[in-house]
């Protein structure tokens, strides 16, 4: 009898468990410091973030197919936190956005494509090379991987603007200050996976050629003479480039709590709220 009652209670509660909904609100910001001020070793280049399977906010049909929809700014609850960041000299908020989704695991929860901040495409190409360098060496920058439509851009004033489909060329591809993906899912607990690139202009040394010297003779070991050896001197120039700083974190969360994910150059504030039936 007890077993029957337990199964009956489980059957009654199962629909409510399956129908759980969560509102997810996120603020992304950068610190107003130069990367050179941080005692970290940053690679000049790294493997691009895999954005396959991500969904742009403008793709409402794809979001709906994943049981998700974008929330309007009137439903935000972290406006005070956003205002404090915006009014603080040490930070620049890059994005404030929110969406609602169901109680899904990692395999089925939507992966959201995030783009925000400045568009550097007027100064740089997709590989970070400056446009000025591309003009000087056009053959090196003619071909680029195909680019999928990028969708919505999240701006600091909570507004949005649609980005239409771009040609498959790194000469026309938008290159945003912040680019990457976010996923919130349930796996016994709530989790957030963040994989983002913060891009900042910088300078690097590049080898542009070599100068050779042809000494008539080189004296080895004080006795043996070897002729016609060339001494090669590398020629190095400093060029401007767009450098990416990777933010990759996974955090276990509790609903209705505000969580802060830290990085030397940026940060994320996230709150996941269970929607009352």
pLDDT tens string 165-223 = 444 444 567 899 999 999 999 999 999 999 999 999 987 666 666 665 555 555 555 55
Which pLDDT does position 15 carry in this prediction?
Answer: 44
Which pLDDT does position 210 carry in this prediction?
Answer: 61
Helices (H), 107-211: 131-136
| Domain ranges for the chain | 20-204+241-274
d(CA 76, CA 72): 7
CA separation, residue 96 to residues 33, 116, 132, 137 (Å): 21, 9, 33, 39
Question: In the chain, which stretches have pLDDT less than 50?
Answer: 5, 7-17, 140-153, 156, 158-170
Give me 245's structure tokens.
Answer: 């700083």
* Strand duo 231-253 + 189-213: pairing: antiparallel
Which pLDDT does position 204 carry in this prediction?
Answer: 66
Give me 274's structure tokens.
Answer: 């269970």
Which pLDDT does position 57 carry in this prediction?
Answer: 87
| CA 143, 57, 64, 100 torsion-angle sign | positive
Give me 146's structure tokens.
Answer: 């195909």
Which pLDDT does position 13 carry in this prediction?
Answer: 46
In angstroms, the first-to-last Cα distance of the chain is 31
d(CA 222, CA 230): 19
Which pLDDT does position 14 carry in this prediction?
Answer: 46
The H or E element containing residue 186 is strand 176-187
């Amino acid at each position: 009898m007890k077993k029957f009652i337990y199964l009956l209670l489980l059957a009654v509660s199962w629909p409510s468990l399956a129908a759980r909904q969560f509102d997810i609100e996120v603020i992304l910001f950068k610190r107003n410091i130069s990367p050179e001020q941080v005692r970290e070793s940053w690679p000049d280049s790294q493997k691009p973030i895999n954005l396959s399977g991500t969904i742009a906010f403008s793709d409402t049909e794809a979001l709906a197919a994943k049981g998700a929809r974008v929330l309007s700014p009137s439903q935000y609850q972290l406006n005070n936190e956003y205002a404090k960041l915006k009014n603080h000299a040490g930070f620049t908020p890059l994005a404030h956005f929110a969406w609602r989704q169901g109680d899904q695991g990692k395999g089925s929860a939507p992966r959201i494509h995030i783009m925000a901040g400045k568009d550097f495409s007027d100064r740089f190409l997709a590989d970070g090379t400056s446009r000025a360098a591309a003009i000087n060496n056009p053959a090196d920058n003619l071909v680029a991987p195909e680019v999928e439509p990028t969708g919505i851009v999240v701006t600091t004033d909570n507004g949005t603007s649609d980005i239409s489909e771009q040609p498959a060329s790194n000469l026309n591809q938008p290159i945003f200050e912040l680019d990457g993906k976010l996923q919130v899912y349930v796996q016994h607990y709530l989790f957030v996976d963040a994989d983002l690139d913060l891009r900042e202009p910088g300078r690097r040394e590049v080898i542009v050629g070599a100068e050779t010297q042809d000494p008539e003779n080189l004296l080895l070991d004080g006795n043996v003479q070897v002729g016609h050896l060339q001494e090669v001197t590398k020629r190095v120039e400093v060029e401007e480039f767009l450098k990416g700083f990777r933010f990759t974190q996974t955090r276990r969360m509790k609903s209705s709590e505000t969580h802060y994910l830290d990085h030397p150059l940026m940060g994320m504030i996230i709150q996941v709220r269970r929607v009352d039936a």
